[in-house]
Structure 1
């Protein structure tokens, strides 16, 4: 995790016009601690340096942009528009650095909300991720795009089996680039290529079968990563759209 975060940050610094970061719900200290980031920092760097690095990372996460506009026609965000976001200006007015403790409904919706199950489910519904969270229907998407003169919302936050999934008659796309999420979902990943005229073309990344003989599976490596394997067993999964999920404590924001 440390190396991934640092690599992304270096890419953004080296190529500021080409690499843009958008904050997600895991860029919150309580959530990434639950998912093992704090322990990983301690395991790699020791108690004092590890906690210092984890704290500094989260201070940086609090400054990451919350959304991005492409040619003022495509808006990108992690979760969605939820119940509270009706204008792009509401997002622009959120002052950074900002933590989840700020209590902003706009921030909560941006990072945590999801579309409803399909285009036939309109309006706002309770979200199985936890109390106070919502899903939003295709009518909300259409109204938001019309009011803000947008043609598309691109968001992530959910594992979709084909790497991308269209919603609201194509006005919203859920994008998920990690293949075979957590080693169990067997999903494809995808990226979106935005071409001339803002034509969006998905490019699929198919999961690879595990190699027959892999250094990753050596007894020595397995022992080294035992603490991470234990975390993977304990932590709740990111829901896969269209598939039943195992029973977890749905009254907790840990249901990610």
Structure 2
């Protein structure tokens, strides 16, 4: 399935059977599989999906209306929530991670929507920030201006403030398709109810085939987490 068909599926199919996910800012239902399409990521940004081939594919398949469709698709992408809360396990689903400018999840619901090129600092960092074992708090990222690496101390403070068990995110092509950051053992912050198999404070799951990595999905059910190839 190519990019256009995947995007069309994302648009026309509602998120299925969700008993444990609340999307921000609008509540909705979703499944217990961490589906990357549930939240906005930087591939949904207009400049990014233009540079990485989505517009070219539209031009080949829908030449008379390619630009019109490109704009409409990006208008839909801009309405996706920046984050989702998975209950009852208190897991935050997000594309990038912890921003320097956000302490409470309540701030997510107040972020501006329909912003084709996000100018809000918090929204931008939710999409672009990455975890790093080499920093404690925050450090500028090599990705560019306004992007940061976040460390264990920043994550623990954010999780404790919002009573979260951890974060599931994507954004990085990690070896093996998935990777835990900040081992839970010895952490200053731990919820009494732990999800079996969730071995760190942050889990990166990568689901793209474009980097020569077998895409993975995080599947949660009956109190445990498993990683499966897709």
Q: TM-score range by the shorter chain?
A: 0.7 to 0.9
In the other structure, the counterpart of 1:191 is 217
Aligned to 1:110: 126
In structure 2, do the counterparts of structure 1 residues 156 and 13 end up closer, same or farther at CA, with 3 Å as the change threshold? closer
| The one of 95, 116, 141 aligned to 2:112 | 95
Contact 1:156–1:176, Cα closer than 8 Å, also in 2? yes
CA distance in 2, matches of 1:32, 1:187: 20
> How big is each residue's C-alpha offset from its partner over 1:90-135, in whole Å with a ceiling of 9 and x where there is no partner?
111113223334x21111111111112x2x4312111111122111
Structure-2 residue corresponding to 1:220: none
Q: Structure 1: give runs of 5+ residues left out of the alignment.
A: 206-256
TM-score (norm 1): 0.71
1:162 equivalent to 2:176? Answer yes
Secondary structure, aligned partner of 1:12: coil
Describe the superposition over 1:162-182 as per-residue Cα deviations: whole angstroms up to 9, x where unpaired.
Answer: 22111122011011123xx42
Matched residues, number:
196
Find 1:8's aligned residue among 10, 31, 52.
10
Residue 48 of structure 2, aligned match among 26, 31, 35 = 31
Answer 1 or 2: which has greater strand percent.
2
Would the aligned equivalents of 2:207 and 2:217 in 1 still touch at CA under 8 Å? yes
Q: Give structure 1 regions of 4+ aligned residues with deviation exceeding 3 angstroms.
A: 13-20
Q: How many Å apart are 1:18 and its aligned residue?
A: 3.4
**What is the root-mean-square deviation of aligned Cα atoms in Å?**
2.0
Contact 1:25/1:31 (<8 A) preserved: yes
After superposition, give the CA deviation of every residue in 1:173-226 in whole Å (9 maximum; x if it has no partner): 011123xx42xx4423221121233x3222245xxxxxxxxxxxxxxxxxxxxx
Q: Report what 2:196 is aligned to.
A: none
- 1:17-44 superposed Cα distances (whole Å, 9 cap, x missing partner): 3356211011111111111212221221
Equivalents in 1 of 2:112, 2:144: separation in Å?
26
Partner of residue 203, structure 1? 228
Q: What are the ranges of 5 or more consecutive residues in structure 2 without an aligned counterpart?
A: 18-27, 32-36, 184-199
Say if 2:141 is the partner of 1:86: no
User: TM-score if structure 2 supplies the norm length?
Assistant: 0.78
SS at match of 1:125: strand
Comparing both structures, which one devotes a greater share of its residues to helix?
1
